[in-house]
């Protein structure tokens, strides 16, 4: 991204890079093959080599959990072949608060101390405390070019749009999470097309999705009491970059553990086109969602034969009908048949059905008659800033169309 990066976050990244250089010098001669720096959520703040594998990221998250639960513990290691293993050192400030970790792939015996109790050589402990202060002063911590213009400045905001009930569909209020920017000629909130396109790049690593999840969880923590009274579920549109990043599900699990939020609050919308193009990756992602406790929505669903196998996944709790079917539904018998099949099939499977971009009362009436449970569109409710979803709004009677 050009021109709009937040100056504070740029300075933070520069300071973390300076810490990385100083730590590299302190570790010279210790046969360190690779080094990376991570904040307290596990997100990468600096990387001196290839991205972490899924197994390495799991080790890092386990290490951060150990550091959080045992304030006196500053090091965790995992031995590998030929003496080469992983070592994570806690980045704690002088008061002992944990702000992140230094991850090393190294010949473990060259580090000071005994197995499981290694120590940073020389003045490494002082450097780790300095690093902790820099990480701790960098919130919100977004770490890649795709998101440095994100929630660190006011141009990006999370919006939500409620799915309203066409029939009996339980008490849970369901919302789609939307990303909007006011960097438009009109000043009105619009979709940040450039950021969305970058997030679809398989090499993006799901950084935008991580920032969105972090911001949503921050709001949920601040409003936790609301959901003890009125259950809700929020679904985030999953980018292809996050889908293909094998460490993203571990990040989700770690975030929910750290925030102590109920996983049922969080879900992900996967497009049918993604399911067709990356079937195995979607299958793995749905399995991890089930393990974590998050729900999944298949978006733009048409009942295409290539994705039917995914409907066996227990994490799938809703099918969102492709708007092309509902737009043509009143005039095209084939579209009517597909919508009826999706509605009936979802009931057989014990999951919900929804239609989006509904802009006419006639289409709404037809969908209700066809058994579709939820409708979403400007005809019923416009997206609102997440910050406006207050207690009074959540406590209001749930609208049934």
Residue-wise pLDDT for 269-316, tens only, equals 999 999 999 999 999 999 999 999 999 999 999 999 999 999 999 999
Same domain, 322 and 220: yes
Are 241 and 201 contacting, i.e. CB atoms less than 8 angstroms apart?
yes
Q: How many CB atoms lie within 10 A of CB 235?
A: 24
pTM for the model stands at 0.64
Beta strands in 229-334 (DSSP E): 232-237, 266-271, 295-301, 316-321
Same domain, 103 and 234: no
Does residue 149 fall inside a structural domain? Answer: no
d(CA 296, CA 235): 8
Does residue 286 fall inside a structural domain? Answer: yes
pLDDT, residue 121, reads 74
Does residue 147 fall inside a structural domain? Answer: no
Residue ending a domain, among 136, 165, 185, is: 136
List, as one string, the DSSP characters of 270-291.
EEHHHHHHSHHHHHHHHHHHHH
Same domain, 70 and 191: no
Same domain, 47 and 169: no
Does residue 143 fall inside a structural domain? Answer: no
Same domain, 185 and 291: yes
Same domain, 38 and 124: yes
Same domain, 189 and 302: yes
* pLDDT range class, residue 183, cuts 50, 70, 90: low
User: Of 200, 193, 282, 210, whose CA–CA distance to 239 is shortest?
Assistant: 200
d(CA 390, CA 295): 23
Q: pLDDT exceeding 90 applies to what percent of the chain?
A: 46
- Strand 295-301 and strand 266-271: pairing? parallel
User: Residue 356 belongs to a domain with what CATH number?
Assistant: 3.20.20.450
The tokens for 372 are 């579709």
Does residue 200 fall inside a structural domain? Answer: yes
pLDDT, residue 242, reads 95
Q: Which helix (H) or strand (E) holds 182?
A: none
Number of separate domains in the chain: 2
Write down the residue that tokens 């940040």 correspond to: 192
Same domain, 122 and 208: no
Same domain, 336 and 259: yes
* pLDDT range class, residue 12, cuts 50, 70, 90: low
Does residue 146 fall inside a structural domain? Answer: no
Same domain, 166 and 294: yes
User: Of 102, 103, 98, 101, whose CA–CA distance to 136 is shortest?
Assistant: 98
Same domain, 115 and 183: no
**Phi, psi (degrees; rounded to nearest 5) at 223:** -120, 30
User: Residue 130 belongs to a domain with what CATH number?
Assistant: 3.30.450.20
Sheet holding 75-78, edge to edge: 44-47, 32-39, 98-107, 84-92, 75-78
Does residue 1 fall inside a structural domain? Answer: no
Same domain, 207 and 271: yes
Are 304 and 327 contacting, i.e. CB atoms less than 8 angstroms apart?
no
Domain assignment of residue 108, given as a range: 7-136
pLDDT of 66 strictly over 70:
yes
Higher pLDDT, 171 or 271: 271
d(CA 146, CA 142): 9
Residue ending a domain, among 86, 105, 136, is: 136
| Coil, strand or helix at 228 | helix
Residue-wise pLDDT for 205-240, tens only, equals 888 999 999 999 999 988 877 776 678 999 999 999
Does residue 280 fall inside a structural domain? Answer: yes
* pLDDT range class, residue 169, cuts 50, 70, 90: low
What is the arithmetic mean of pLDDT over 32-47?
88
């Amino acid at each position: 991204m050009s021109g709009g990066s937040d100056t504070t976050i740029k300075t933070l990244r520069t300071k973390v890079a300076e810490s990385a250089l100083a730590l590299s010098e302190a570790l010279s001669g210790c046969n360190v093959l690779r080094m990376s720096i991570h904040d307290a959520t596990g997100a990468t703040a600096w990387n001196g080599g290839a991205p972490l594998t899924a197994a390495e990221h799991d080790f890092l998250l386990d290490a951060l959990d150990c550091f959080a639960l045992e304030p006196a513990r500053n090091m965790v290691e995992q031995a590998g072949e030929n003496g080469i293993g992983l070592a994570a050192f806690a980045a704690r400030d002088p008061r002992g608060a944990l702000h992140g970790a230094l991850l090393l792939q190294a010949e473990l015996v060259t580090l000071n101390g005994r197995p499981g109790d290694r120590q940073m050589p020389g003045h490494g402990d002082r450097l780790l405390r300095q690093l902790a202060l820099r990480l701790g002063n960098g919130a919100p911590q977004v770490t890649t070019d795709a998101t440095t213009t994100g929630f660190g400045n006011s141009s990006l905001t999370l919006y939500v749009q409620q799915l309203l009930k066409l029939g009996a569909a339980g008490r849970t209020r369901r919302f789609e999470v939307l990303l909007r920017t006011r960097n438009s000629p009109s000043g009105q909130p619009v979709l940040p097309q450039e950021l969305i396109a970058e997030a679809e790049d398989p090499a993006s690593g799901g950084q935008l999705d991580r920032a969105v999840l972090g911001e949503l969880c921050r709001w949920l923590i601040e409003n936790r009491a609301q959901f003890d009274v009125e259950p809700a579920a929020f679904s985030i549109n999953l980018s292809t970059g996050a889908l293909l990043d094998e460490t993203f599900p571990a990040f989700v699990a770690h975030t929910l553990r750290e925030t102590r939020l109920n996983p049922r609050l969080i879900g992900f919308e996967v497009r049918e086109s993604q399911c067709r193009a990356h079937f195995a990756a979607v299958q793995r992602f749905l399995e991890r969602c089930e393990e974590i406790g998050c729900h999944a929505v298949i978006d733009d669903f048409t009942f295409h034969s290539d994705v039917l196998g995914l409907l066996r996944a227990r994490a799938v709790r809703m099918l969102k009908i492709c708007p092309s079917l509902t737009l043509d539904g009143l005039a095209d018998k084939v579209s009517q048949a597909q919508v009826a099949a999706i509605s009936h099939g979802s009931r057989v499977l014990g999951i919900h059905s929804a239609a989006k971009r509904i802009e006419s009362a006639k289409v709404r009436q037809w969908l209700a008659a066809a058994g579709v449970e939820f409708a979403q569109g400007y005809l019923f409710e416009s997206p609102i800033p997440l910050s406006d979803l207050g207690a009074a709004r959540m406590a209001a009677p749930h609208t049934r169309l």
